Chains A and B, each alone.
Chain A
């Protein structure tokens, strides 16, 4: 972290390289944190610590490297951090340089279109709360609320937040939308509205039928007061569910005795892995073919989106007790590991997968149990003579501490045939105290990971984390990704 670099001291070549190295480290630290951290509680760290830590990193990077900070939006960071970058950029006002301003605006527009709507509405609410009300912020909000999305749908589904944002940015809607947002009495009078969704909402106060013309999450909230049972809600509302709603209602529908076939074939890889990890091992065994097929298909779809074939890969996946995650991120590290395993199997020409502790059952029956001994599976992985060893672990190695890193370093330095092996550690857990995902030692490049889908892109980023690439290369990488990202 550059704390006190003297701006005038950069003339000598020594200082120049030192400053470059520090800048590169700063950026890598920031980007790495943004791949993993979501400000949620982790098993080993509280929620507050996580938020303070990542907030500091954002403000520091924005203050020192604004252009690169904006460009990191193009790297595929997780939603939480992308929303935070947009928030801080908008709060900081437009840059004076015209070209930079145009690039930033394009990055923000594309990012908002990619983020899920609930995240964007939450971001707008935060901007309103922070009283960020510059011209660019108002324009961004207006564009998103009136043009980028269906204003009627958002007014029903995200009513409170839309109202906050509209008031803050002086966004004008058509007369009916404004009435719907601001007049609680009118919202109960079906005769007032022409727009079908608004009418359905008003009618739903009196007629159960109207409930099922509303977005599912809205219907869900109103169901109890209309006397609609869980069973009826799920049965009649299932056609209006989003894929995510469908997946999260699985257990509930089973309890209510409603058949709700989850669209496993369309679910994204990590979501699917989370779902699989939530099932009882016995049920996973029973539905092995179905779940295995779905995971394979999801991995294949992810791979096809950005096909980058890999050679001989050995995966060491941590399934120790700590991969059970926290209350807020239940079984997240385990699900990420499972997703990575499937994706790497698909992408690699040859692959070997080793769980720590050893798993004598099929991959998808994995459970979080036992100690973290990474050294033993790492040795077994090296026996397979791979090009790359990918370790998916939270980095809290305890049987014993620090041995895996030593094994990797010793193998690379002293064992013939292992000198070219690349060791990459994908870490789904952000360690707030160190401002970075926990590392396994200097021989292993550690990169944060939030979604298994990012695995292949992160393997490309690993050389920056390792420190083998220069600042110029990192900047070129960012510039290229940015160009690709904002070109329609």
Chain B
């Protein structure tokens, strides 16, 4: 049985509560009214070193990876105890193993129903590997190295949570709701990250770990407009007695989800390209990204989806404008089989402009020096 991968990110079955604003950040709590305990997440902390992930295709992924998530699940909706609460073999909790900086694979099964995954890095690796192979036809404009080995190395800069102004404070002042399983984190420019855990207890335990994650585009917008506390006004005209006042309050409340949906339009309900990474029947782990349109917000992330297609775990990253442009450029090159003239024709551009764009995007090293010299 193969279920199709995610088409769009939908938060069906979840309720979105009124936001809490702290300076330039705003957090919308995501609440699961009927939490189930057949999928649980826990945190696994690595040492302070940068992590190197050995990938199956002989490439390596290097980054600061402070922690991993441990996923426990059951097939038939049985209850899983919170990680650490059960007696278990010491394999994945071996203290010596934590010293090792080389991590084997992004997602790795550590037990029959247990999985270790590196949050966000799983999704980000897919992004970095985009069109990693390079040109299939040996166009002479590309350097010899590019023609032989493809992109060879590819790096992007992200912002650690601690450098996001006010995030630490916002997380510590945030009041976690009863039944809260996730959060939509906004800054002045829109949705910064969405995080949904599988169970309220897991969320409570993982709430502060959001500071260990990485985020996009925040350092570049220090003067991002402060998000004021959104207030919805109660309409007094319909109120005559207590019952109608209660109704008016209820209608104010029901508007929050709509507010959040508008604010998060860059991700929620937008079509995504998803790819299945791991099957943990009946669940599956997928990584996804929205379309790479430089004019719109672009997000990537990973999700665990249950058999019914409902998202049970979600973690997203908003790509910075430069990252989107770079990725869009790679995609454009790939669709035209890395032929500069074809790209120029498609974009109604001159060939020199295309070369300049490639250089400005930081991919100048892929081209032959003479090609670059001509446009300078």
Which residues of A line the B interface, CB within 8 A?
Answer: 43-44, 320-322, 357, 369-372, 375-376, 379, 382-383, 398-403, 406-407, 409-411, 413-416, 418
Contact = CB atoms under 8 A, between A and B. Distances in A.
Judged by DSSP, the binding face of B is loop
B175 A372 contact: yes
Contact of B239 (A321, A357, A400, A415): A415
Given A370-B175, A371-B175, A379 B17 contact: no
A370 B18 contact: no
A407 B232 contact: no
B226 interface: no
Given A407-B245, A407-B249, A320 B175 contact: yes
A395 to B, nearest CB: 13
B245 A371 contact: no
A399 B231 contact: no
Q: Which of A322, A383, A414 has the most CB of B within 10 A?
A: A414
Interface size band for B? 20 to 34
A400 B253 CA distance: 8
A410 B239 contact: yes
B109 interface: no
Contacts of B234: 403, 406-407, 410
A421 to B, nearest CB: 12
A285 B27 CA distance: 35
B242 interface: yes
B248 A410 contact: yes
A62 to B, nearest CB: 34
Nearest to A402: B231
5 contacts: A371-B177, A400-B232, A401-B18, A409-B236, A411-B245
Contacts of B236: 409-410, 413-414
Contacts of B20: 371, 398
Nearest to A322: B175
A406 B233 contact: yes
B57 interface: no
B18 A400 contact: yes
Contact of B242 (A44, A376, A382, A406): A382
A371 B17 contact: yes
B88 interface: no
Interface in B269-291: none
A323 to B, nearest CB: 10
Contacts of A400: 18-19, 230-232, 252-253, 256
A401 B253 CA distance: 11
A403 B252 contact: yes
A399 to B, nearest CB: 5
Contacts of B253: 400
Nearest 7 Cβ contacts at the A-B interface: A400-B18, A406-B234, A321-B175, A398-B20, A401-B229, A410-B236, A371-B175
A328 to B, nearest CB: 15
Given A371-B17, A410-B248, A379 B173 contact: no
B233 A370 contact: no
